[in-house]
C-alpha cells in the first residue's frame, strides 16, 4: 500500500468516525454498528478536542492507521499463501484480530474448526475463556489486545503443526509483531510456547519466567482449551485457572511499567 493510499485510508476512517459520532449526537442515542466496524473505529480512537479547539484539524492518529495498513498487507499475503499443504483444506485463513497498537499479543497454536469457518482466532469455547482472562482478569477489553496464532490455517483433525508448516508460517507472525510492537507476548499453550522458544521443554517448566522473542518479552501460560478439560472437576478447574491467573499477574506488572527479568 502506497503512502498516499495509507493517508486516504486514515482520512476515510476518521471521517467515518466523525460522521457516526455526529449522527449519534444528533439522534441523542446510540447507533448500532457491527462489532468489526466498532473495532476498526476504536483503532482511530479520538480524544475529545479541548473545548476551545475546532473539531477538525486536530485529529492525527498516524500509528494506528499505518499499522492497520501494514497488517492489511500481510493479511493479503496470508490469504493468498500456498507455501504449505494446509492451504488445500482451509475454509478461511485466520490472520489475527485486535488493536494494531496493542500492548499485549496473545499467540495461540493454530485455528480450530470454528476459527477456520469464521476466519477469526479464538472464537470457540477456548476463545470465550480467553475473553474472560482478558476482561475479568486483566480488566481490558478484547478489542484492546491483539490475538493470533503461530499457524494461520487449520491443521487437519487439529493435529500439531509440522516443522515445515511452522517454517513457512512463523515469518507472518514475526511481521505482525514487528508492526504492532507489543510490550508483551503471551504464548498460549505448549505448542505455541515450544514453537516460539524453539525447544521441547514441557510447558510446566516453561511457565514462571520471562523470555525474549525477537527482543519482545514473552510469558508462557496454559492454553484455554487445556484449562477447559478440567471443567468437570471444579476443584482442579479452579486450581488450573489459578495458575493462569499467576501468569497474568506477572504480565500485568510488566504492562504497568515494571521491567521483566528476562532469562
Ligand atoms: N486454539 C488456538 O490455538 N487458536 C485458535 O485460534 C483457537 C483455538
Cα–Cα dist 166/147, whole Å? 18
Look at residue 12 in the predicted model and tell me its pLDDT.
79
Look at residue 34 in the predicted model and tell me its pLDDT.
77
Domain ranges of the chain: 1-47, 59-255
CA distances from 161 to 26, 128, 136, 156, 191 (A): 52, 23, 31, 9, 8
CA angle 15, 77, 147 (to 5 degrees): 70
Pocket test for ligand 1, best of 92, 112, 158, 166 (most atoms within 8 A of CB): 112
Does ligand 1 have an atom closer than 6 angstroms to the CB of 126? yes
CA 149 to ligand 1: nearest atom = 4
Pocket test for ligand 1, best of 92, 94, 105, 111 (most atoms within 8 A of CB): 111
Copy the grid coordinates of residue 133. Answer: 482472562
* Strand spans (E) along 3-153: 97-98, 104-108, 146-149
Look at residue 25 in the predicted model and tell me its pLDDT.
60
CA 109 to ligand 1: nearest atom = 3
Look at residue 73 in the predicted model and tell me its pLDDT.
95
Lookup result for grid cell 509483531: 177
Look at residue 57 in the predicted model and tell me its pLDDT.
34
- The domain made up of 59-255 has a fold known as Uracil-DNA Glycosylase, subunit E (3.40.470)
CA distances from 6 to 11, 126, 182 (A): 9, 35, 21
CA 94 to ligand 1: nearest atom = 6
Residue 262 carries which DSSP code?
Answer: B
199 C-alpha vs ligand 1 centroid, how far in Å? 20
If one counts every other C-beta atom within 10 angstroms of the C-beta of residue 142, the result is 20
Look at residue 128 in the predicted model and tell me its pLDDT.
97
Look at residue 79 in the predicted model and tell me its pLDDT.
98
Cα–Cα dist 151/164, whole Å? 11
Look at residue 71 in the predicted model and tell me its pLDDT.
95
Cα–Cα dist 186/249, whole Å? 12
Cα–Cα dist 142/132, whole Å? 9
Beta bridge partners of 106: 147, 186
Cβ neighbours for 76, distance < 8 A, ≥ 6 positions apart? none
Look at residue 27 in the predicted model and tell me its pLDDT.
59
Look at residue 45 in the predicted model and tell me its pLDDT.
57
Look at residue 60 in the predicted model and tell me its pLDDT.
39
Look at residue 36 in the predicted model and tell me its pLDDT.
74
Q: How many CA atoms lie within 13 A of 59 on its CB side?
A: 20
CA 189 to ligand 1: nearest atom = 3
Q: Which residues of the chain have pLDDT under 50?
A: 47-61
Kind of pairing between the strands at 146-149 and 216-221: unpaired
Does ligand 1 have an atom closer than 6 angstroms to the CB of 122? yes
Amino acid at each position: 500500500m502506497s503512502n498516499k493510499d495509507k493517508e486516504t485510508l486514515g482520512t476515510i476512517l476518521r471521517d467515518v468516525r466523525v460522521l457516526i459520532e455526529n449522527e449519534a449526537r444528533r439522534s441523542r442515542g446510540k447507533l448500532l454498528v457491527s462489532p468489526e466496524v466498532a473495532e476498526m473505529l476504536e483503532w482511530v480512537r479520538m480524544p475529545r478536542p479541548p473545548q476551545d479547539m475546532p473539531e477538525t484539524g486536530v485529529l492525527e492518529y498516524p500509528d494506528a492507521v499505518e499499522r492497520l495498513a501494514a497488517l492489511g498487507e500481510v493479511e493479503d499475503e496470508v490469504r493468498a499463501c500456498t507455501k504449505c499443504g494446509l492451504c488445500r483444506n482451509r475454509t478461511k485463513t485466520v490472520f489475527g484480530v485486535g488493536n494494531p497498537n496493542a500492548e499485549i499479543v496473545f499467540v495461540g497454536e493454530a485455528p480450530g474448526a470454528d476459527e477456520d469457518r469464521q476466519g477469526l482466532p479464538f472464537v470457540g469455547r477456548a476463545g470465550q475463556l480467553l475473553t474472560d482472562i482478558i476482561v475479568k482478569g486483566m480488566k481490558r477489553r478484547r478489542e484492546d489486545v491483539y490475538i493470533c496464532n503461530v499457524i494461520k490455517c487449520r491443521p487437519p483433525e487439529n493435529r500439531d503443526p509440522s516443522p515445515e508448516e511452522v517454517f513457512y508460517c512463523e515469518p507472518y507472525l514475526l511481521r505482525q509483531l514487528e508492526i504492532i510492537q507489543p510490550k508483551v507476548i503471551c504464548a498460549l499453550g505448549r505448542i505455541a510456547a515450544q514453537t516460539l522458544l524453539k525447544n521441547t521443554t514441557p510447558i510446566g517448566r516453561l511457565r514462571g519466567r520471562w523470555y525474549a522473542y525477537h527482543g519482545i518479552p514473552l510469558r508462557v501460560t496454559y492454553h484455554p482449551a487445556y484449562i477447559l478439560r478440567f471443567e468437570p472437576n471444579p476443584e482442579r478447574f479452579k486450581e488450573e485457572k489459578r495458575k493462569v491467573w499467576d501468569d497474568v499477574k506477572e504480565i500485568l506488572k510488566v504492562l504497568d511499567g515494571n521491567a521483566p527479568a528476562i532469562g
